[in-house]
C-alpha cells in the first residue's frame, strides 16, 4: 500500500514540499522525481552556435574561441538565449567544455580548442551571456533567462585513434 502510494506521488512536484514523504523515498526515487520534474518544465535545445530553429546561426565554437574575444562570445550566447526565449526554450545543451586533444575526432568543431585556459575563459563567458538577464514575463524571483548545460568534459575529446 505504502509503495503504490509513493509511486503515484513520484511525478508530483509538491512532494518536495512535504519532508516526511521525501524521507521515505529511496535515492533512486528522488533522482527520478528530479529528472521528471526538470524535463516536464523545461524545453531544451542544442545551442552550440546559436539558436538554429528560425534563429541566428553563429560560427562554430572553435571559430568563436579563435577570436579570443570573451565579450563577443557573451553577446552570441545572449542572442541565442533571447531567440530561444521567444519560442519558450529555457534550457540549452551548450557549451562543450571538453578539450580537443585528438584532431581526427569528428567533433572538434564543437569545442573551444585544446587550450584549457582559453576553454575555461570562453566557456565562462558563454554561460554568463546565456544565463544573464531576466526572462520576459517571469516573476521577481527568476534570476536566469536560460539554463546553460556545460557538457562533455570528462575525456570525451581524447578518443582512441580519432573515433
Beta-carbon count within 10 A of 122 CB: 28
In the prediction, which pLDDT does 1 show? 44
pLDDT at 21 over 60: yes
pLDDT band at residue 17 using 50, 70 and 90 as cut-offs: low
| pLDDT of amino acid 41 | 52
Tell me: pLDDT of 70 over 90. yes
Alpha-carbon gap, residue 71 to 110, rounded angstroms: 19
Q: What is the pTM of this model?
A: 0.69
Query: What pLDDT does 34 receive?
Result: 64
Q: Which of 38-47, 92-101, 116-125 has the lowest mean pLDDT?
A: 38-47
How high is the mean pLDDT of the chain?
77
Residue 18 has what pLDDT? Answer: 57
**Which residues does residue 50 pair with via DSSP β-bridges, in sequence order?**
48, 57
Give the CA radius of gyration of the chain: 19
Instruction: Report DSSP letters for 39-93, one per residue.
Output: HHS--EEE-BTB--SSS-BPPPHHHHHTTT-HHHHHHHHHHHHHHHHHTT--EEE
Place of cell 523545461: 42
d(CA 133, CA 145): 6
pLDDT band at 11 (very low <50, low <70, confident <90, very high): very low
Mean per-residue pLDDT, 93-106: 86
Amino acid at each position: 500500500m505504502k509503495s503504490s502510494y509513493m509511486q503515484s506521488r513520484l511525478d508530483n512536484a509538491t512532494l518536495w514540499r512535504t519532508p516526511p514523504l521525501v524521507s521515505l523515498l529511496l535515492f533512486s526515487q528522488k533522482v527520478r522525481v528530479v529528472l521528471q520534474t526538470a524535463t516536464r518544465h523545461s524545453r531544451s535545445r542544442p545551442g552550440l552556435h546559436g539558436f538554429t530553429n528560425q534563429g541566428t546561426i553563429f560560427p562554430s565554437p572553435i571559430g568563436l574561441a579563435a577570436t579570443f574575444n570573451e565579450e563577443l562570445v557573451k553577446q552570441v550566447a545572449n542572442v541565442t538565449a533571447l531567440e530561444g526565449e521567444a519560442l519558450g526554450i529555457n534550457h540549452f545543451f551548450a557549451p562543450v567544455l571538453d578539450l580537443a586533444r585528438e584532431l581526427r575526432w569528428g567533433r572538434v568543431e564543437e569545442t573551444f580548442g585544446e587550450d584549457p585556459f582559453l576553454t575555461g575563459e570562453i566557456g565562462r563567458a558563454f554561460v554568463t551571456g546565456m544565463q544573464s538577464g531576466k526572462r520576459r514575463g517571469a516573476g521577481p524571483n527568476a534570476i536566469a533567462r536560460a539554463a546553460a548545460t556545460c557538457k562533455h568534459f570528462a575525456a570525451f575529446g581524447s578518443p582512441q585513434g580519432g573515433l
